[in-house]
């Protein structure tokens, strides 16, 4: 069965909430789309924090004909403090601060950041040397990011 874009997005939010809760972080979805999907609270922080969730349903050929990849587009003016990148197909969540997203995004057209990972381990390294395999971003997986970000 094919999921709608809204269903894919909601799946991503729910998976992110589940993973946060596994780390003792409470979260709640926003009722309207303001660029913030979740408001979260951790006992380790004194204030709540905000998360924009971006969800990819499944791997697709990069550039339409390349190796299988997952990707997300993030607006540069995102009001959230953190961005959660969700891969529904593999039930994985990466969590990055906005400054980290700006640093690691491979493409930066005006007003947007394009972040992608190849899911094909046989894919060659990029000519510019930037990481792009999913295993290159282990430090950002939510289970590693929560302690690293002090959440």
Reply yes or no on whether the pLDDT at 36 is more than 90: yes
Confidence grade of residue 128 (pLDDT, cut at 50, 70, 90): confident
Q: What is the CATH number of domain 5-148?
A: 3.40.1350.10
DSSP string of 48-115? -EEEEEEEE-S-EEGGGTSSEEEEEEEETT---SEEEEEETTTTEEEEEEHHHHHHH-SB--TTEEEE
* pLDDT score at 79: 95
Tell me the average pLDDT across 144-151.
87
pLDDT of residue 96: 96
- Per-residue pLDDT of 39-75, as tens digits, reads 999 988 888 999 999 999 998 887 777 888 999 999 9
Cα(30)–Cα(58) distance, integer angstroms: 25
What is the chain's mean pLDDT, rounded? 90
End-to-end alpha-carbon separation of the chain, Å? 36
pLDDT at residue 133 tops 90: no
Q: Tell me, what's the pLDDT at 89?
A: 93
**How confident is residue 122, by pLDDT bands cut at 50, 70 and 90?**
confident
| Domain ranges (residues) in the chain | 5-148
Q: What is the pLDDT of residue 63?
A: 76
């Amino acid at each position: 069965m094919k999921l709608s874009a809204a269903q894919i997005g909601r799946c991503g939010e729910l998976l992110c909430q589940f993973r946060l809760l596994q780390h003792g972080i409470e979260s709640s979805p926003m009722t309207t789309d303001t660029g913030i999907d979740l408001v979260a609270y951790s006992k380790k922080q004194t204030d709540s924090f905000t998360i924009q969730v971006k969800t990819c349903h499944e791997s697709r050929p990069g550039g339409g004909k390349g190796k299988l990849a997952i990707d997300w587009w993030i607006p540069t003016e995102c009001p959230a403090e953190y961005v959660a990148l969700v891969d529904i197909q593999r039930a994985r969540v990466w969590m990055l601060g906005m400054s980290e997203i700006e640093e690691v995004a491979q493409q930066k057209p005006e007003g947007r950041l394009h972040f992608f990972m190849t899911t094909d381990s046989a894919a060659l390294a990029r000519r510019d040397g930037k990481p792009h395999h999913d295993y290159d971003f282990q430090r950002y997986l939510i289970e590693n990011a929560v302690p690293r970000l002090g959440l």
